[in-house]
Homo-oligomer: A and B are copies of this chain.
C-alpha cells in the first residue's frame, strides 16, 4: 500500500486526464494549522490512511507528508511577508488542504495496479466566522438533498462531493447558516427521517446530560473533531452514544451543535424542518456539554469559547 516512490507532487495545475478530475477518484483532508501546529494531525492521518486503503491508493508515509506540508508553509510565509493585504492578519492560522488522487491512467473506470498517485498540498487563508454563530448559535435548515446510502464510501473524505454541493446551495448564509442532511430512503420507506450530519460538519445533540451523535456507517464523513469529542467525553466522564436517530429526536434536545476541523464546535440556535416546523435551543445554560467541549477544542483552534 505505502510506496514513497510512486507519487507525483502537483503544484498549481493538474493533468486533465487525472482520475481525480475525471472520476473523483481520490480523497482529501482540510487541516487547521494554528501557530505552526497541525491540529489533530494523527486523526487526519488516520482517516487519510483508511481512505487510501478503502480506495487501494498508494500513499507515501506520514513523515514525507509532514515535510511536504512544512515546505508549503514556508513558501507561503514568504508570500505573506511580501504582501501587506488585510487577508493576512491571521497569518499565524492557516488551512492546509491535502488532495490525493489515483493519478492518470486506467482503462475506463478500471484503474491500473501501478498507478502513480498525485498529491496536492495547498495552504489557504483561515476563514473567519461571525462571533454570533458561536455566541447566539446558528439558524439551520433541514436540506432537501439527502445523503445516499453507500457503505463502500461511508466515513471517508473522498472527492465525490456533489451531494454536499447541492445541499450547500440550499441556503445562502443569511436566512440559514448551515443545513442538516438526512439519509436518502429507498422506495420501501416513504419518508426521509434519519439524521446524519451537517453539510460539512458532524452533528451532536444532548438529552438528559447524555451526548448523542449519528453513526457514520452507511453515509456521512467520520470527522476528526467528532473523534476528538469521543476521546474528550471519555476523559470528562460524559456519556456518549452513536446510533441511528430520526430528525424528530432533535426536537426536545437541550443542546444541538456541529463539529468541524476548522470551525471547532458551533452551537445551533434553531432548526427549521422542511414543513417549516421550528425547534429552538437556548444558549443560556452555561453548564451545557457543548460549552465544556468548546473550552477545549475551540480554544486550541483559536475560535470563540462560548462560556
Contacts and interface: CB of A to CB of B under 8 A. Distances in A.
A21 B10 CA distance: 13
Integer count of this chain's copies in the complex: 2
Contacts of A7: none
Interface of A: 10-25, 28, 55-56, 99, 101-102, 107-111, 120, 122, 127, 145-146, 148-153, 158-169, 173, 183-189, 199-200, 218-219, 244
Given A24-B160, A165-B25, A165-B111, A16 B120 contact: yes
Contacts of A17: 122
Contact of A149 (B14, B19, B149, B160): B149
14 contacts: A13-B13, A13-B15, A16-B120, A21-B21, A21-B101, A25-B162, A107-B127, A110-B169, A148-B150, A149-B186, A150-B163, A152-B166, A160-B162, A186-B189
Interface of A is mostly: loop
A152 B170 CA distance: 13
A215 to B, nearest CB: 11
Contacts of A16: 10-14, 99, 120, 122
Given A16-B120, A108-B168, A168-B108, A148 B24 contact: no
B14 A161 contact: no
Contacts of A21: 14, 18, 20-21, 99, 101, 159
A161 B15 contact: no
A230 to B, nearest CB: 23
